[in-house]
A and B are shown apart, each in its own frame.
Chain A
Amino acid sequence: MSAPLPSFSAAGFRHGARIALPAFPGFIMFALAFGAAAAQKGLSLGQAMGLSAFVYAGASQMVGLEIWQQAWSPATILTIVTVTAVVNARMILLGATLQPWLKHEPIPRTALNLFLLTEAGWLLGTRYHGNGGRDVGVLLGTAVVLYGVWLLATLAGYFAGALVPEPRRFGLDLVMPIFFSVMLVPLWKGARPALPWLVAGIVSLAVHALVPGYLFIIAGALAGVAAGMLIE
Chain B
Amino acid sequence: MNALPSFDLATWGAALAIAGMSAVTFLCRIAGVVVMSRVRLTPRMERGLRALPGSIIMATILPVIIDNGIPAILAMAATIIAMMATRIDLVALLVGLGTLSVLRAFGV
A residues engaging B (CB < 8 A)?
A: 21-22, 25, 43-44, 47, 50-51, 54-57, 60, 64, 68-69, 71-74, 76-78, 80-81, 84-85, 88-100, 102-103, 110-111, 114-115, 117, 119, 122-123, 126, 168-172, 174-188, 193-194, 196-201, 203-205, 208, 216-221, 223-229, 231
Q: Which residue of A lies closest to B15 (CB)?
A: A50
Contact of A171 among B34, B64, B75 (CB under 8 A): B75
* Bound CA–CA A74/B21 (angstroms): 14
* Bound CA–CA A185/B37 (angstroms): 30
Q: Please give, as numbers and ranges, the residues of chain B lying within 8 Å of A74 by CB-CB distance.
A: 9
23 A-B residue pairs with Cβ-Cβ distance under 8 Å, sorted by A, are A54-B22, A60-B25, A71-B13, A77-B9, A81-B20, A94-B52, A96-B35, A99-B37, A115-B29, A170-B101, A171-B75, A171-B96, A171-B98, A181-B92, A184-B83, A185-B83, A185-B87, A196-B54, A223-B59, A224-B54, A226-B48, A227-B51, A227-B55
Minimum Cβ distance to chain B for residue A20 (Å): 10
Are A178 and B76 touching (Cβ within 8 A)? yes
Q: Which residue of B25, B49, B75, B97 has the most chain A CB atoms within 10 A of its CB atom?
A: B25
Minimum Cβ distance to chain A for residue B80 (Å): 6
Q: Which residue of A lies closest to B64 (CB)?
A: A177
Q: Please give, as numbers and ranges, the residues of chain B lying within 8 Å of A201 by CB-CB distance.
A: 58-59, 62
Contact of B25 among A88, A126, A225, A226 (CB under 8 A): A88
Q: Please give, as numbers and ranges, the residues of chain A lying within 8 Å of B26 by CB-CB distance.
A: 114-115
Q: Which residue of A25, A72, A78, A169 has the most chain B CB atoms within 10 A of its CB atom?
A: A72
Are B59 and A185 touching (Cβ within 8 A)? no
- As a 0/1 sequence over residues 59 to 90 of chain B, the CB contacts with chain A under 8 angstroms (1 = contact) are 11111111010001001100110011001011
- Since A81-B17, A171-B99, A185-B92 are in contact, a sample of 17 more A-B pairs with Cβ atoms closer than 8 Å, ordered by chain A residue number, is A25-B97, A50-B18, A72-B14, A80-B20, A85-B27, A95-B28, A95-B34, A97-B32, A115-B26, A126-B53, A174-B100, A182-B93, A184-B54, A200-B56, A224-B52, A227-B51, A228-B47
Q: Which residue of B60, B72, B98 has the most chain A CB atoms within 10 A of its CB atom?
A: B60
Contact of B50 among A122, A203, A228 (CB under 8 A): A228
Q: Please give, as numbers and ranges, the residues of chain B lying within 8 Å of A225 by CB-CB distance.
A: 48-49, 51-52, 55
Are B72 and A174 touching (Cβ within 8 A)? yes
* Bound CA–CA A208/B31 (angstroms): 26
Are A55 and B25 touching (Cβ within 8 A)? yes
Q: Please give, as numbers and ranges, the residues of chain B lying within 8 Å of A188 by CB-CB distance.
A: 54
Q: Which 5 A-B pairs have the closest CB atoms?
A: A224-B55, A220-B59, A72-B13, A95-B32, A228-B51
Q: Please give, as numbers and ranges, the residues of chain A lying within 8 Å of B1 by CB-CB distance.
A: none
